[in-house]
Amino acid sequence: MLGRTDRRGRLTLLLVIFIVLAVALGARLAYWQLSRGEELRTMALHRIALPVEQAGLRGDIVDRRGTVLATTSYRDLLAVHADQLPPARRATVARELARILGYQGETANRLEQTVERGDSYAVIARELTEEQSEAVRQGVADGKLSAVSLDPRPVRFYPNPGGAPETTLASHLLGFVNGEGRGQYGVEQRYQDLLAGRPKLVLGGSDGTGGRVVDEGTPGGDLQLTIDASLQLLLEKELYAAWVADKASRVSAVVVHPDTGDVLASASVPAYDANDYAAIAARSPDSFVDPILGEVYEPGSVMKMLVAAAGYETGAVTPRTPIVDAASVRLGRSRVDNADKRGMGTIPFEDVIAYSRNVGTSLVAMRLGRNVHEAATVLHGMWRRLGIGTRTGVDLTGELPGLVADPRVKRWTSIDLANRAFGQGVAVTQLQLARAFAVMVNGGRLVRPRVVAAIDGVATEASPAPRVIRPQLSAALRRLMARAASTIPRIARGTLIPGYAVGGKTGTAQIWDPKRGDWVPKTFNFSFVGYVGQSKPEAVIAVQIHRTKPQILGQGRLQLSITSYELFRRIAVDAIDVLAIPSSDSLPPSEARDDATAVGQGRSPRADAALVTGDHVASVDRAPPAAP
Amino acid sequence: MRRQHAHRPASTGRATPPTRAIPRNAVAVQRPARRSRADPLPNRAVAGADGLRRDRIAAWFGSIPVRSASPGTHGVQRERHDPDYWLLLPIVALSAIGILMVYSSSGLRSHAARDDAFAVVGQQLLWAVLGLIAMLVAMRVDYRWLRLLSVPMYAIALVALVVVLLPGPHQQVVGGSARWVRIGPLPPVHPAEFAKLALVVYLAHWLAKTGTRVSSVVHGTLPFFVVAVPVIALVVREPDLGTTGVLTLAAFTMFVVAGANLWQFALVLPAGIAAVALIVSFNPYQLLRVQAFLDPWKDPQGIGFHTIQGLLALGLGGLSGMGLGESLRAGISVPNAWNDFIFAVVGEEFGLLGGLTVIVLYLAVAYRGMRIALAAPDTFGGLLATGITAWLVLQAFINIGVVVALVPITGITLPFVSAGGSSLIVSFVAVGILLSISRETLPGGSWNDADPDRGGRHGRPHLSGAGRRGQPARTPLRG
């Protein structure tokens, strides 16, 4: 009917819309109050509740033998309540405090000004030594001091000095604890919740809700590391010596047990003093990053071992396959040269690796597949299986995955493949390298590196180590490493240890300067990754001398005061001593294996000597040192 | 049996709205008993044992007709019956819940801050009493008077909304929004609350006058925008996005119910959505707001903060709640606990059951409001009832939607529950108007009184004289 404005239908629809909206609101309300209710309730109670009990002291960190690496104890905070002092007495108290604290000149004047101001509370000094605390107490007892208070505060200590001056032991690995009690870097950050524990939380309402326990809390837990403090100290000393001798920007090394992935020692020079983190944070905060896993670099020829692994596995080469090694090979518009710009003619493949021939390795890499892309896929597949380009999963913070181009994402050109075959154009962490070599020598199991062996006395479970290459291949690669370490006389002299099985591969890499778009002149990264053991490898050691200018003797002949392989041998000898790996000379071959399994049980004389005479490693008890 | 619906001559003492503003058929003339139906309203006073008492109550509410009215008297007559008490029930319940929750959520903080636990709830009680009185007054007044007032009300609302934006001693800026006007010693008022009422009344008046022409672009859609946009734009300027939403939705609802041609919006709506999406995506702050309402934990310390506080309170409530006055979050960390987020406190203290009860109470308001709109005796009443119901219910749902993180955060009160004088008084007056309409509802009412479009305005044939001769009158209630 014309003229009617009755809208019964639309009004009914409106009512239906209202009902739908109400149902939606009700459903959403039920979602929050029932489905997510428990979660929200816990969250809410945690926000309202007050900590009524401290979680106790932060847990200690000890090495595999119980040597304390990090501990917490109370140190007094000295405060003065100057408003309670008659003005005439303030100067006397200030002078006495200055005497006890050993303040002179400007600092003493400032202290006097603080006291003279007459504030009700002023902090004079934090972290008093025990002598200073005692002297203050004595002064109060004698009546020389009044209106002062000592407030014990928990303070983290790293009692062991490191191998380099003004450092603490394993500083990069451990990290430190900041003023708010939060771990920063390394183990301290990774295991923050466990080390710090949780305080007991209780609702502090003024009404009937008060006293309800929200969280029972847990005390801080203790950590036992896989690190051996003695080996760590020796390692740091060796690195420091090399750092000084080679004038490198950094020298770092990591020692990993190939079968378990346990990190036995890991250090870099320069390191830092974790007891003085605040000053370093202000000066150079970058120095806290652990270069072993937080820095990537182009490793150079050590990556040739992965070409060998891929070549052996695919059957592209055998150790005896003759390879024609020319001085250079042209690939597209680029050219690959040998380091000495010479060719060695036809040589077996194992010598291509042993003499570190760039051209020969590139040719083998090309043979991995029917074309460049297929070969690149095969090589990249081997990298991935050995953990190159992925985080190792070590229980530390700040690990980087490396920079590895995936041929499935962006195809490699032939020059890419050639360069990456000898470790240029690919960036990895040292820990990745150590792990990849561990897999190559341990029978082919992809172990996950770890630093924590036990939590509160309960051993942590080792993560499963899937087999990624066949044991026979692993054995062949070990033989190849042994040959690489013993073929060139210069390297053999620096690397081999009589009575022990040693193998490894050197690497010398140019450094790309992205700013200039060219290689940094006459500056190199020197690497060596290898193993040492008896009947089987007992330690894999990855060494890097970062950014150093060697003496250039001739084309491809670079001379360092301490070469990477010599540094490897020094660390290997230390590991033999500390881990008590028996020599084949001293034991009949049948016993060697038994003893080798007892790693860490005995101590060599040299390791004990370090503990006693070096006074660098603290005694096993947990008391902090009397003086900082 | 006593006559329930005696006809009352216009000459009785009651004020009768001017006929000029009233559509013809709003005034029932003697109606033939053609469509006699059962008594549509359950609340009519029935003579019986308690007849007298009910009469008195009903008389107080103004429903008792003048006994002496003589049937068959010609002239302007009006049928009145009891208002819809079933509407009153959820309103009173919500107000009671409101006073309880305002006290529960504000008592402790008021006590701590001002040493007076009743500082907030005392005001709320006072406003509730004033609101009830205002409601009863509005209920007894014939709602058709509003047609006469609609233009001045609309003008006053516009002026007030402009004044609130002008800097000066009267202006009170709260949380970055200039929403309050303070004049002399009077308590500060919130012009946007009044604007809602004014817009709804004016739109009802205008839409009733426009009749079926509302479906045309020139006579319907364009003038609709001319009426609605200034008010909405001024509220956006405050800025008060919550009230903007309520105004827009309520106005649009009225427009649609009045007979808007929805096909015109088939184009406008997607364009509008696209425009909003564009504005949001180009404005990082607004984008953040939208993201935060989808997942408040995206920005827990910033945009999502308020939402999370509300959700934590809901989580504490669970199914049955912590109990009255046991709220842990109210007054500590729930923002605007006795205002915009009072629903979170309801959810915490009474749990899911309490929250659902409140939602159901608003649904009851929606149902009764829609019934009144359907049975209204004229187009103006029907549209007015539609507008008021849509406004109150949508405002409530938007407020609850904010708390349960279904709607981006906007500051808007929960009608009858949240603390706040302006909101409470205006809401009560609106319900009073609704009740006033409910006193005249007809069985199966149909709004056929609007000015029928006679001739040539959009090409329809001229309907000779039908309008002037008067349409068939409807059945009077059983007399």
Residues A393, A265: one domain? yes
Kindly determine whether residue A36 and residue B315, on different chains, have CB atoms separated by under 8 Å.
Answer: yes
User: Nearest CA to CA, how far is A20 from chain B (Å)?
Assistant: 10
Q: Is B329 on the interface with A (CB under 8 A)?
A: yes
Average pLDDT, chain A: 86
Spatial CA neighbour of B31 closest among B479, B476, B477, B467: B476
pLDDT band (50, 70, 90) for residue A205: low
Kindly identify which residue of chain A lies nearest to residue B392, measuring between CA atoms: A18
**What does the alpha-carbon distance between residue A527 and residue A422 come to, in Å, rounded to a whole number?**
13
- Which domain CATH number covers A146? 3.30.1390
Residues A309, A340: one domain? yes
Lowest mean pLDDT among A281-285, B164-168, B381-385: B164-168
- What is the structure's pLDDT at A259? 94
Residues A57, A114: one domain? no
**What does the alpha-carbon distance between residue A307 and residue A353 come to, in Å, rounded to a whole number?**
9
The DSSP letter of residue A69 is: E
Residue B445 pLDDT greater than 70, yes or no: no
By Cβ distance, the residue of B258, B315, B317 closest to A7 is B258
Residue A470 pLDDT greater than 60, yes or no: yes
Identify the domain boundary among A123, A153, A183: A153
Lowest mean pLDDT among A74-88, A352-366, A372-386, A446-460: A74-88
Kindly give, in sequence order, each residue whose CB lies less than 8 Å from that of residue B102, ignoring residues fewer than 6 positions away.
B120, B121, B124, B338, B342, B417, B418, B419
By Cβ distance, the residue of A15, A47, A209 closest to B370 is A15
Whether A34 is covered by a domain: the verdict is no
Residues of A with Cβ-Cβ distance to B347 under 8 angstroms: 29, 33
Residues of B with Cβ-Cβ distance to A27 under 8 angstroms: none
Residues of B with Cβ-Cβ distance to A36 under 8 angstroms: 311, 315
Whether A38 is covered by a domain: the verdict is no
Kindly determine whether residue A37 and residue B318, on different chains, have CB atoms separated by under 8 Å.
Answer: yes
Say if CB A438 and CB A396 are below 8 A apart. no
Residues of A with Cβ-Cβ distance to B460 under 8 angstroms: 2
- What is the structure's pLDDT at A325? 92
What secondary structure does DSSP assign to B64-105, as a single string? PPPTTPPTT--SS--------HHHHHHHHHHHHHHHHHHHHH
How far does CA B268 lie from the centroid of its chain?
Answer: 26
Whether A19 is covered by a domain: the verdict is no
Q: Is B211 left (phi over 0), alpha (psi -120 to 50) or beta?
A: left
Q: Is B118 on the interface with A (CB under 8 A)?
A: no
Kindly determine whether residue B406 and residue A33, on different chains, have CB atoms separated by under 8 Å.
Answer: no
Residues A175, A127: one domain? no
Query: How large a percentage of chain B has pLDDT more than 70?
Result: 65
By Cβ distance, the residue of A6, A22, A34 closest to B319 is A34
Whether A258 is covered by a domain: the verdict is yes
The DSSP letter of residue A535 is: S
Tokens 């630093």 correspond to A451
Write the secondary structure of B298-356 as one string of H (helix), E (strand) and C (coil).
Answer: HCCCCCHHHHHHHHHHHHHHCCCCCCCCCCCCCCCCCCCCCCCCHHHHHHHHHHHHHHH
Whether A284 is covered by a domain: the verdict is no
Using DSSP bridges, classify how beta strands A518-533 and A501-513 pair: parallel, antiparallel or unpaired.
antiparallel
Spatial CA neighbour of A295 closest among A546, A562, A507: A546
Query: How large a percentage of chain A has pLDDT more than 70?
Result: 89
Residue B81 pLDDT greater than 90, yes or no: no
Residues A263, A316: one domain? yes
By Cβ distance, the residue of B211, B362, B366 closest to A5 is B211
What secondary structure does DSSP assign to A239-273, as a single string? HHHHHHHHT-SEEEEEEE-TTT-BEEEEEEES---
Lowest mean pLDDT among A33-42, A476-485, B92-101: A33-42
Average pLDDT estimate for A179-184: 85
User: Between vectors from CA A284 to CA A283 and to CA A287, what angle results, nearest 5°?
Assistant: 145
User: Nearest CA to CA, how far is A46 from chain B (Å)?
Assistant: 11
Residues A318, A368: one domain? yes
Q: Which of B205, B343, B356, B457 has the highest number of chain A CBs within 10 A, making it the mutation to test binding with A?
A: B356
Kindly determine whether residue B351 and residue A11, on different chains, have CB atoms separated by under 8 Å.
Answer: no
**What does the alpha-carbon distance between residue B363 and residue B366 come to, in Å, rounded to a whole number?**
5
Q: Which two tokens stand for residue A625?
A: 């040192």
- What is the structure's pLDDT at A547? 92
Q: If contacts are CB pairs under 8 Å, which of residues 227-256 in chain B contact chain A?
A: 253, 256
Whether A426 is covered by a domain: the verdict is yes
**What does the alpha-carbon distance between residue A117 and residue A98 come to, in Å, rounded to a whole number?**
16
Q: Which two tokens stand for residue A23?
A: 């149902």
Q: Is B447 on the interface with A (CB under 8 A)?
A: yes
Say if CB B362 and CB A22 are below 8 A apart. yes
**What does the alpha-carbon distance between residue A238 and residue A567 come to, in Å, rounded to a whole number?**
7
Kindly determine whether residue A44 and residue B316, on different chains, have CB atoms separated by under 8 Å.
Answer: yes
- What is the structure's pLDDT at A308? 95
Lowest mean pLDDT among A62-71, A102-111, A269-278, B234-243: B234-243
User: Nearest CA to CA, how far is A215 from chain B (Å)?
Assistant: 16
pLDDT band (50, 70, 90) for residue B235: confident
What secondary structure does DSSP assign to B215-255, as a single string? GSIIIIIHHHHHHHHHHHHHHHHTT-HHHHHHHHHHHHHHH
Q: Is B212 on the interface with A (CB under 8 A)?
A: yes
Residue A482 pLDDT greater than 80, yes or no: yes
Kindly determine whether residue A5 and residue B406, on different chains, have CB atoms separated by under 8 Å.
Answer: no
Domain count within chain A: 3
Q: What's the pLDDT tens digit per position in B343-401?
A: 988 998 899 999 999 999 999 999 999 999 988 888 899 999 999 999 999 999 999 99
- What number is the ipTM of this complex? 0.77
**Alpha-carbon torsion A241, A245, A250, A255, what sign?**
negative
Kindly determine whether residue A25 and residue B406, on different chains, have CB atoms separated by under 8 Å.
Answer: yes
- What is the structure's pLDDT at B199? 93
Kindly determine whether residue A2 and residue B212, on different chains, have CB atoms separated by under 8 Å.
Answer: yes
Give the C-alpha distances (Å, rounded to integers) separating B331 from A511, B109, B325. 62, 6, 11
- Which domain CATH number covers A215? 3.90.1310.10
Say if CB B351 and CB B318 are below 8 A apart. yes
Q: Is B332 on the interface with A (CB under 8 A)?
A: yes
Give the range of the structural domain holding residue A370, as residue numbers without chain letter: 229-274+292-454+464-592
Residues A216, A355: one domain? no
Spatial CA neighbour of A375 closest among A329, A327, A421, A427: A421
**What does the alpha-carbon distance between residue A93 and residue A84 come to, in Å, rounded to a whole number?**
12
Neighbour order of strands in the sheet with A263-269? A263-269, A250-256, A537-548, A518-533, A501-513
**Alpha-carbon torsion A408, A410, A415, A418, what sign?**
negative
- What is the structure's pLDDT at A553? 86
Say if CB A420 and CB A426 are below 8 A apart. yes
Residue B198 pLDDT greater than 80, yes or no: yes
Give the C-alpha distances (Å, rounded to integers) separating B174 from B178, B180, B423. 6, 8, 16
- Which domain CATH number covers A509? 3.40.710.10
- What is the structure's pLDDT at B4? 44
Q: Which of A17, A20, A29, A209 has the highest number of chain B CBs within 10 A, making it the mutation to test binding with B?
A: A29
Spatial CA neighbour of A525 closest among A540, A512, A508: A508
Residue B459 pLDDT greater than 90, yes or no: no
**What does the alpha-carbon distance between residue B24 and residue B32 come to, in Å, rounded to a whole number?**
17
HSE-CB at A224 with a 13 A cutoff on CA atoms is 13
CB atoms under 10 Å from CB of A448, counted, come to 17
By Cβ distance, the residue of A12, A21, A44 closest to B312 is A44
Residue B135 dihedral angles phi and psi, to the nearest 5°? -65, -45
Across B298-310, b (16+ Cβ under 10 Å) vs e yields ebeeebbbbbbbb
**What does the alpha-carbon distance between residue B18 and residue B10 come to, in Å, rounded to a whole number?**
11
Kindly determine whether residue B315 and residue A18, on different chains, have CB atoms separated by under 8 Å.
Answer: no
pLDDT band (50, 70, 90) for residue A211: low
Q: Is B330 on the interface with A (CB under 8 A)?
A: no
Kindly determine whether residue A8 and residue B374, on different chains, have CB atoms separated by under 8 Å.
Answer: yes
Kindly identify which residue of chain A lies nearest to residue B343, measuring between CA atoms: A29
Residues A382, A341: one domain? yes
Say if CB B429 and CB B415 are below 8 A apart. no
**What does the alpha-carbon distance between residue A183 and residue A105 come to, in Å, rounded to a whole number?**
36
Residue B107 pLDDT greater than 90, yes or no: no
Polymer length in residues for chain B: 479
Torsion of CA B41, B43, B45, B50, to 10 degrees: 150
Residues A537, A497: one domain? yes
Kindly determine whether residue A15 and residue B332, on different chains, have CB atoms separated by under 8 Å.
Answer: no
Lowest mean pLDDT among A22-31, A105-114, A436-445: A105-114
Q: Which of A32, A40, A43, A209 has the highest number of chain B CBs within 10 A, making it the mutation to test binding with B?
A: A32
Whether A445 is covered by a domain: the verdict is yes
Lowest mean pLDDT among A182-196, A435-449, A452-466, B161-175: B161-175
**What does the alpha-carbon distance between residue A440 and residue A427 come to, in Å, rounded to a whole number?**
19
**What does the alpha-carbon distance between residue B103 and residue B417 come to, in Å, rounded to a whole number?**
11
Residue A294 pLDDT greater than 90, yes or no: yes
CB atoms under 10 Å from CB of A298, counted, come to 21
Residue A62 dihedral angles phi and psi, to the nearest 5°? -125, 160
Kindly determine whether residue A29 and residue B448, on different chains, have CB atoms separated by under 8 Å.
Answer: no
Q: Is B443 on the interface with A (CB under 8 A)?
A: no
Residues of A with Cβ-Cβ distance to B446 under 8 angstroms: 4, 6, 8
By Cβ distance, the residue of A19, A32, A38 closest to B314 is A32
User: Nearest CA to CA, how far is B214 from chain A (Å)?
Assistant: 10
For residues A552 and B239, the model is more confident at A552
Residues A439, A554: one domain? yes
Q: Is B321 on the interface with A (CB under 8 A)?
A: no
Residues A476, A337: one domain? yes
Kindly determine whether residue B370 and residue A28, on different chains, have CB atoms separated by under 8 Å.
Answer: no
Kindly determine whether residue B352 and residue A30, on different chains, have CB atoms separated by under 8 Å.
Answer: yes
Kindly identify which residue of chain A lies nearest to residue B325, measuring between CA atoms: A207
Residues of B with Cβ-Cβ distance to A203 under 8 angstroms: 328
Q: What's the pLDDT tens digit per position in B274-289?
A: 877 777 777 666 677 6
Residue A29 pLDDT greater than 60, yes or no: yes
What secondary structure does DSSP assign to B445-472, as a single string? -----S----SSSSSPPP--SHHHH-PP
Kindly determine whether residue A10 and residue B256, on different chains, have CB atoms separated by under 8 Å.
Answer: yes
Q: Which two tokens stand for residue A538?
A: 């007992």
Residues A189, A142: one domain? no
Lowest mean pLDDT among A152-161, A267-276, B22-31, B275-284: B22-31
**What does the alpha-carbon distance between residue B208 and residue B259 come to, in Å, rounded to a whole number?**
10
Whether A345 is covered by a domain: the verdict is yes
Q: Is B348 on the interface with A (CB under 8 A)?
A: no
Kindly identify which residue of chain A lies nearest to residue B369, measuring between CA atoms: A15
